[in-house]
Amino acid sequence: MAKIELRNVSKRWGSFIGVDSFDLTIEDREFLVLLGPSGCGKTTTMRMIAGLEDATEGEIWIGDRKVNDLDPKDRDVAMVFQSYGLYPNLNVYENIRFPLRVRKVPEGEHDERVRRASAMVELDDFLHRKPAELSGGQRQRVALARAIVRRPAVFLMDEPLSNLDAKLRVSTRAQIKNLSHELKVTTVYVTHDQIEAMTLADRVVVMKKGVVQQVGTPTEIYDNPANTFVAGFIGSPAMNLMDGTVTGGVFQGRDVRIGGLDHADGDVTLGFRAEDASVAGPGEEAQIAAKLYTIELLGDAVMLTVRAGGALVSVKAPKDFRAEIGEPVGFVVPTECCHLYDRKSGERTGAWHRPQGDGVPSASDAERIATTPAGPM
């Protein structure tokens, strides 16, 4: 097994910067997810680890070896791509076996290793089939088994679920999670899907335009986004973000007034999660009051959306809540669930103002969690 170290790694093509000063240690057996929108540099980072791209600057270490000058075949990594990359003329058994033949593994070991890998991904009944006879999910499992059979030091997975439909994505995601637990191999997984990141990762690296925005556990990144980009990218729905001004501890924006904030006066962006607020009951003071823009049934709840603070703001309500579009509605937003960001830079300036002694992080504690990566940066 192996630890991966990226030491100030950058990738440039002329004046274009694909990855800028990426500095991170991925621990042995850790499942790390690189998350971000298309073009943020996550796949380029993985390709540099694999040796498919040369780093312009910096060092890449796998275990105790600097691998910058090693060919991909000498780095002891196995890759699973978005495209399955199967050989159409070979059956499933031979597709899984192929890396063993290329690496000249003694033939006496082939059958046992192929069948063990196929069992892990539940393909025992399909070993005789050709790729054309398989579903998309089954083909992806063949690609996984072909990587597993190698017994590499590192798994690299580049958006392996992107070509699957919604139902298959859920089941294959569960399979990858189980395999990660069973194999205990250092894994770097690239995705733009924040649900995949939150469900699979030990740690998540959120990237934007080649720059790391935040590193942390899924819980840390969800509960304490370091900036408005992370806040707006993580979560379904994303965090509500509203522009306004804090004066004397009171945030005010269009149709919004939230008091009790421990923050200096000035222009800020205030954020909170849809599940942290509620509909104001009879006689209860609402911090947000506006007309209902839309109502969506989610099954276990309904999502209410209004226009407030210059943005669309969503709040979850009980599934039996009923209202018509255009009706006035009020929301209660607990002060302790509010996050505050600098209006210009988008960087976090405060959050989680709670009474001490209730087992919940204070503002200073949460600030530290949000801005301190879970590993070296």
In tens, the pLDDT along 94-140 reads 999 999 998 889 999 999 999 999 998 889 999 999 999 998 888 88
**Can you tell me the distance from the alpha carbon of 95 to that of 250, in angstroms, rounded to the nearest whole number?**
63
Give the rounded percent of residues in the chain with a pLDDT score beyond 70.
Answer: 93
**What are the tens digits of pLDDT across the range 170-180?**
888 888 898 88
Domain check: are 296 and 147 in the same one? Answer: no
**Whole-angstrom distance, CA of residue 251 vs CA of residue 262:** 10
Q: Quick one: 176 and 252 in the same domain?
A: no
Q: What is the secondary structure of 229-246 as a DSSP string?
A: HHHHHSTTTTPEEEEEEE
Domain that holds residue 256: 238-362
Query: Which pair of tokens denotes residue 236?
Result: 């379904």
Measured CA to CA, the distance from residue 279 to residue 328 in angstroms comes to 11
Under 8 Å between Cβ of 292 and 304: yes
State the alpha helices, DSSP H only, in 121-225. Answer: 136-148, 166-183, 194-200, 218-223
Cβ atoms of 269 and 346 within 8 Å: the answer is: yes
Separation CA 252–CA 81 (nearest Å): 48
Strand order, beta sheet including 211-216 = 77-80, 154-158, 186-191, 31-35, 203-208, 211-216
Number of other CB atoms surrounding residue 110 within 10 Å: 16
Gap between the Cα atoms of 65 and 75, Å rounded: 9
Residues 114, 82 within the same domain: yes
For the chain, the straight-line distance linking the first and the last C-alpha, in angstroms and rounded, comes to: 22
Asked if the structure places residue 231 within a domain, the reply is no
Strand partners for 351: 339
- φ, ψ of residue 371 in degrees (nearest 5): -105, -5
The mean-pLDDT minimum among 81-85, 90-94, 133-137, 215-219 falls in: 81-85
- The answer on 253 and 172 residing in a single domain is no
Indicate if 209 and 273 belong to the same structural domain.
no
- Asked whether 278 and 295 are in contact (CB, 8 A), the reply is no
d(CA 1, CA 194) in angstroms, rounded, equals 27
**Of 99, 79, 58, nearest to 189 (Cα)?**
79
Establish if 60 belongs to a structural domain: yes
Do the domain assignments include residue 371?
no
Tell whether 108 and 36 lie within a shared domain.
yes
Q: For residue 227, what is the DSSP state?
A: B
Picking from 178, 197, 222, the residue at the C-terminal end of a domain is 222
Q: What is the pLDDT of residues 244-300, one digit of tens each?
A: 999 999 999 999 999 999 899 999 999 999 999 999 988 899 999 999 999 999 999
Closest CA to 105 of 151, 46, 45, 53: 151
* Angle of CA points 132, 133, 138, to nearest 5°: 95
Both 263 and 187 in a single domain?
Answer: no
Segment 51-69 mean pLDDT: 96
Work out whether strand 250-253 and strand 240-247 pair parallel, antiparallel, or are unpaired. antiparallel
| pTM of structure | 0.85
Task: Categorize the per-residue pLDDT at 371 as very low, low, confident or very high, splitting at 50, 70 and 90.
Answer: very low
Do 151 and 260 share a domain, yes or no?
Answer: no
